[in-house]
Every structure is written in structure tokens, then in C-alpha cells.
Structure 1
Amino acid sequence: MQGRSYYAPHGGLPPQTQLLTDRAVFTEAYAVIPKGVMGDIVTSFLPFWDRTRAWILSRPLSGFAETFSQYIMEVAPGGGSERPEPDADAQGVLFVVEGELTVTIDGASHVMAPGGFAYLPPASGWTATNAGAAPVRFHWIRKAYEFVEGIDVPDAFFSRDQDVAPTPMPDTEGRWATTRFVDPDDMRHDMHVTIVTFEPGGVIPFAETHVMEHGLYVLEGKAVYRLNQDWVEVEAGDYMWLRAFCPQACYAGGPGRFRYLLYKDVNRHAKLTYR
């Protein structure tokens, strides 16, 4: 596959002359947070993180995300955290889009560059620091792990987008493929974070309607996405949240590849009570 690129927000503030009209959409079935609204004034600071700010893209909320939260973290040189995760039940996935992040777990340090992926199990005591000379920006996806008697909790592991061959979807001639960091048959995992790639002209040729909730961050390119009854244009830097059972389809018209980081909840029974 050709060289990879990953969009990362840098903040700032639009000029007073900019029109207010944008592509931001919030509905009961889906939301679109375009890159243009990810400015300085919507960032958050987090306890025990030094020289760090975060764009919080989704969080469990009535009428919004139910199973996960997703942040884009920006850590300045010398920043980081010795106590990054406050919830002992929370597992995490990190995906670096710019700069270098050093993650230490079980006494071993791992330097993650753009394309770097980490799975961090609950109560794993990991730490994160930026030992480089430039800011590091990375996605942090958090989900409360659903423990099942007789099934072990997954081990921590590190990987890279560049090292995982995408799996083509059947009958697509490689125009639609998924980079899977976890074996889909591994029942220890109750969430998958993958990268979906469409070559120009690739499509999701039907309205997917399923129980999995989604978070999608566009890493590269542009496309039109069908969300519920609407077609929306999305491009690198945009974020989409899709509620469970929200119909979805996609057409990637080009001129380049369309790639996004995808979250979904998997491999567990549906709860029979809400909350």
C-alpha cells in the first residue's frame, strides 16, 4: 500500500470574518463533528496530565454515545501522565497521528510514531510521556471492559498500521479493506478498533444496519457518507458518531484514498436492561 498520512488537529480560532455555516450535525441517530470546529476553545484539560489538552469527541451521554469515549490528545514536549487512566475497569486503545509518544507498561517502554497502535487492558498501570521535541497527537479510545466468567482479559500489545496487511472485503477487488489489529475470533476483546480503507470509487453498497455503535475519525481523503436518511460530505479531520442500528453506507469518489479509524463494540450479549 502507498504511503500513509494521518490528519491531526492543531487548534486555533477562525477569523471573525468566517461564515457561521458549517457541516456540524447532531441528531438522535448520528453526529458529525467537522474538523473546522476543533479549535482551541473546545479543548479540555484532564487530571494528572501535564502539558496536555484534549478534544473530547464522544462520551457516554443520554442521546449520544453509550459504550465508549474518544479523545484526541495533544501532549507538548515534556508532558504526559503517570496516572493517565482513573477508571480501573477501563481498557484503552491509543493511535498516534503525529509526533512520538512513549508508553510504559509492565516495566517496558514503547515509542509510538504515527501509525502506532496500542491496546491497554484495564488496571494495567500504563504511563505516557512525550520525550520528543514536538507535540504528539493521538487518539485515545476508552471503554469499560465487559468481564465474562471463564474468558481471560486481553493482554496489552503494540502494533503499527504500516505492519498490518489490510484484509479486502469479499468481492470488492481490494477497493474496500480493513486493517484489523485484533483477530475477530478472539473473544477476549469486547471492542475492535480498526482502520477502514476505500480506494477511489469504492463503496459500501448497502445500508448497513446493525447493533454495533460506531465512532469514525477520518484520517485521510474525503467521501460522502449515508447516515440514516441523509448524505453528508466528510473529509480528513472529521468525526462521526453512529448510534446502534443507524443505517450507513459510503461512496469514496476520490481523487485519493479514503481512510478512517473505526470503533465498534463486539463479542458480548445484548444487555436485557438499559443502564
Structure 2
Amino acid sequence: MRPVLNISFSPEPRLTLVVIVIAALGLLIQGVVGGDGFCSVLDATDKGCGEESLYWKVNSPTLSPSHLRDLPGFTRSVYKKDHALITPESHVFGPLPDWTNTLAAFLITPAMGSQFTLYFAKMQEKSTSGLPPQDVERFIFVVKGVVSLTDASEKIHDLKVDSYAYVPPNFEHFLKADSTATLLVIERRYAPLDGIGGPAFLVGSTDKQPLLETPGEIFELRKLLPTDVAYDFNIHIMDFKPGEFLNVKEVHYNQHGLLLLEGQGIYRLGDSWYPVQAGDVIWMAPFVPQWYAALGKTVTRYLIYKDTNRNPLL
């Protein structure tokens, strides 16, 4: 007698699909990931694999083009009207206007519907930055190397990996790199408020920011900018232990730009579910349903932009 295979499906087919996707991702991770995270067999000979270098996976992603040579035309990148996932194999670098010896990959821009830009700036030896356009504010986060920032008073600030700077609009400054460095840069046109003074220049580092309460949630949260109404956006650093997830299935008017700095997991955007890992960038339009769950054996950390402190009618 031929054996009978009994398969039972959840009454909610979409939930069944999610379970299958997560299981499949787990098998993929088991096949290509070592015990320390996304460090595949092909990575094992790379200089960066296993080194104690914070955020090195952002600059050396597992699914880089060299690991996809047997899959011509493959990319995990997706662009839809209310969200986008831009993965490292899709980055296109070109000269950055007004910067010297620097290449940039613009990953989020108003062309896709955002009100801000997010890009990687790869500074080479002896490179310097230019100024943003008039009335545009700038946020800088170092993911590789060291840069020096000279402010309007000619004071020099050394920014290393995990350090950042907020530069108010029309604030004189410039960056300099003596050796290679990679920056995440976010820029947007500042939205002033009547009777409110402008935001202040500041520098800081993630590890110096306190953990904040997250009622109803279990992830760890740090805010890199003051919550003062003078600032029209903030940058959050969110940490998830393996298996942790967002309790709130968010739908809101705020836009997001996100960079996964560490770890891997599943991100829901609208009706789609995406496996994501360090180095991936996500844009979320207003009111797109969004949710995240951390997978694997390592902590997930992501940096996320959020516009705030402004009436959406303005």
C-alpha cells in the first residue's frame, strides 16, 4: 500500500505562508551561516570574517555580488509605491557632488516618494566633504573607519565607528578622511516652526546614549537626537535579541529610513514579508503596515530615521 502523506494547513493561509518562509530562511541560514552569524564558507577566507570590527557586515554583506555569481540577475531588492528594500548587490556608486575623492550610493531619495535622502558616502584617502544645499540639515553616522569633522568654530571632532553628528541647516562644517571610511548620511530640508529656535549642532556616540523605556515592547531603544521640538526628525537605535519581535504592528503617518547594522530577521512591509540582514536599507512610506522579528543566533541592531514634532498638515 502506498503511504499517505497527511498535510494540515492553517485556516489562515497567509500565516501558513509566513511559517514556511521563516522555516525556509532557517534552512538557508543553517546552510551558509557559521556559528557566529552571517559568515559563509565563501567568507571564511575574507580578511574581515571573524574580525572584531563593529558593523563590518554592513560593508562586507554575505549576499554581495561575489556570492551571487551563480545566480545572474538575482537581487533581493524590491521597490513598491509604499516601501522599498535596497540590498547591497544593488548599490550603484558614483561621484558625490562637492565632495572630493568620495563615491556615494543614494538609496532613498524624493524620487521614490520620501521627504529625505539617505546615502552611503565612501571616503577615500585625503577626501573631504561638501556642504548640503541651502536650508538642508544633515545627519552623519560612521559605519567604517574614522573621520574628522571641523565645525563653524573650527573645533575638530574625531568620529569613529558608531559615532555620529547632527549638522543644522546652513551650518558651516566639513569632514575629512585620512584613510578610507564609510558614512551613512541622511539629509532633509528643515521645517522651521514660528517662534521656535533652530536645532543645535551636536556630536555623540551610540554607547553614550541611555536606554529608554519601551512600554509594551521588549526591544532596547536609544534616541540619538534630542526630543526637543526644534528637531524635526530623530534617529533611533533599536536592538532585538534573537526571537524578539515588535508587538505593535505599526501603521502611522511618519516616514522611515532604516539601515540594518547587525543581525538578520524578517521584515513585514505591507502584505510582503522579506528576509533581511545587516547591510540592507528599507524605506517605509506613511501608513504602510510594518513589523519585524529577529532570527538567527545574533542580536539585531538597526538605525531608523523618523520624522517627528511636526503637524502633518504643514
State the TM-score, normalizing by the size of structure 2. 0.78
State, as a whole percentage, how many aligned pairs show the same letter: 28
Task: Give the SS at the match of 1:219.
Answer: strand
For residue 10 of structure 1, report the CA deviation from its aligned partner: 6.3
Task: Give the SS at the match of 1:36.
Answer: helix
**Which residue in 1 is equivalent to 2:78?**
25
Is residue 2:90 matched to residue 1:52?
no
Structure-1 separation of matches of 2:69 and 2:206: 39
Structure-2 separation of matches of 1:222 and 1:17: 23
Structure-1 separation of matches of 2:102 and 2:158: 18
Q: Kindly provide the amino acid, as one letter, of the partner of residue 186 in structure 2.
A: I
Please, which of 205, 215, 221 is the counterpart of residue 247 of structure 2? 205
Please, which of 119, 133, 140 is the counterpart of residue 87 of structure 1? 133
State the TM-score, normalizing by the size of structure 1. 0.88
For residue 69 of structure 1, report the CA deviation from its aligned partner: 0.1
Question: Which structure has greater helix proportion?
Answer: 2
For residue 200 of structure 1, report the CA deviation from its aligned partner: 1.3
For structure 1, the residue ranges without an aligned partner over 5 or more in a row are: none
Task: Give the SS at the match of 1:94.
Answer: strand
**Which residue in 2 is equivalent to 1:237?**
279
For residue 243 of structure 1, report the CA deviation from its aligned partner: 0.5
Structure-2 separation of matches of 1:22 and 1:100: 31
Is residue 2:177 matched to residue 1:177?
no
Is residue 2:159 matched to residue 1:117?
no
* Relative contact order, higher structure (CA 8 A, sep 6+): 1
Q: 1:129-168, CA deviations, whole angstroms, 9 ceiling, x for partnerless residues?
A: 102xx31101110010001111111110000012112324
Greater Rg, structure 1 or structure 2? Answer: 2
Is residue 2:115 matched to residue 1:73?
no
Question: Which structure has greater strand proportion?
Answer: 1
Is residue 2:129 matched to residue 1:129?
no
5 Å matches for 1:4-23?
5-6=54-55, 7-9=57-59, 14=66, 17-23=70-76
Structure-2 separation of matches of 1:252 and 1:261: 14
Structure-2 separation of matches of 1:128 and 1:260: 24
Structure-2 separation of matches of 1:85 and 1:18: 40
**Which residue in 2 is equivalent to 1:144?**
189
- The number of aligned residues is 258
For residue 242 of structure 1, report the CA deviation from its aligned partner: 0.5
Structure-2 separation of matches of 1:65 and 1:152: 29
2:261 touches 2:303 (CA, 8 Å); kept in 1? yes
For residue 197 of structure 1, report the CA deviation from its aligned partner: 1.1
Structure-2 separation of matches of 1:124 and 1:183: 18
Q: 1:12-49, CA deviations, whole angstroms, 9 ceiling, x for partnerless residues?
A: 864754332221111111110112222xxx11212221
Is residue 2:146 matched to residue 1:104?
no
Structure-1 separation of matches of 2:270 and 2:304: 18
For residue 171 of structure 1, report the CA deviation from its aligned partner: 3.9
Q: Kindly provide the amino acid, as one letter, of the partner of residue 162 in structure 2.
A: G
Structure-1 separation of matches of 2:286 and 2:54: 29
Structure-2 separation of matches of 1:99 and 1:168: 32
